[in-house]
A and B are shown apart, each in its own frame.
Chain A
Amino acid sequence: MPRTLATAARLYRAGLYLYPPAFRREFGAEMGRDFEEATVDCWAAGGWRSVVSLWTHTSADLATSAGIQWLRSGLPLIALVAAAIAMLTVTLAAQLSRVTVPVPLTDADRDVLTITLMAVLVLMIIVAVLVFNLWFSRSLVRRLPSSRRF
């Protein structure tokens, strides 16, 4: 097999990083092996013409199916929601900074405010950890064969 074919197989394996990690972990090794085997078969059957046709088709498939897998993973939606929340927070903070407090804060008020903010922060961290755990355990359940699903 010419060295170019081996290089193409390596390039395709690198291209698999375009897929979401969960999909790549589940099928990446097989996809790489299939591509290598298909390249060898095409080379034996029709030489360069056949190999180039396979590469063109596989590249188009990689581009489209990677997009589909990302959409299916739901991560773009999470990113969109996170960006929306971040924008909302920044806007809210900008509006709040213009609000003047009618009565000057005492030291006791400042302490209460600090404790409240810390409690909110801790709650947000707990919620974030719970959401991420649920999210990643869901993708783990999907990866298990049906006989081993709980």
Chain B
Amino acid sequence: MAPLTPAVFHVLLALAPGERHGYGIQKDVLEHTGGAVRLGPGTLYGTLQRLMALDWVEEKIVRGAAADERRRYYRLTKTGRKSLEAEVQRMDALLKTARAHNIVPRGTKG
């Protein structure tokens, strides 16, 4: 499988813990990346549209006190979760290779 684009990866990762609405995904991505990645609304909803067409993400009707009923919530499908896991596995293999070549993050070298 081809590597996922950064936007697709971040959206899938934000949806991994459970359903989120669009702005929730944006805030999660900003938090996960320490403010380095800000998904604009056009990029976010364009990505969600593609992921829904691929059947990796689906809409979920959420009711209850915590839910904002004006919003649309999205969640991962089984296929979406499998794709995310495959991407994480690919990244993990790359990290192992990098470590084998003694490439370690800055500030952790002895």
What residues make up the interface of A, taking CB atoms closer than 8 Å to B? 19, 23, 26-27, 30-31, 33-35, 37-38, 57-58, 60-62, 64-66, 68-69, 72, 142, 145-147
What residues of chain B lie closer than 8 Å to A30, measured between beta carbons? 21-22, 41, 45, 71-72
CB distance from B59 to the nearest CB of A (A): 5
Main secondary structure of the interface of A (DSSP, over half): helix
Q: Count B interface residues, CB 8 Å.
A: 22
- Residue of A19, A26, A146 most packed against chain B (CB within 10 A): A146
Contact call A19/B58, Cβ cutoff below 8 A: no
Separation of A26 and B46 alpha carbons in the complex (Å): 10
Interface assignment of B34: CB less than 8 Å from any CB of chain A: no
What residues make up the interface of B, taking CB atoms closer than 8 Å to A? 21-23, 26, 38, 40-43, 45-46, 48-49, 52-53, 55, 58-59, 70-72, 77
Which of B26, B38, B46, B53 contacts A34, CB < 8 Å? B26
Residue of B nearest to A35 (CB): B41
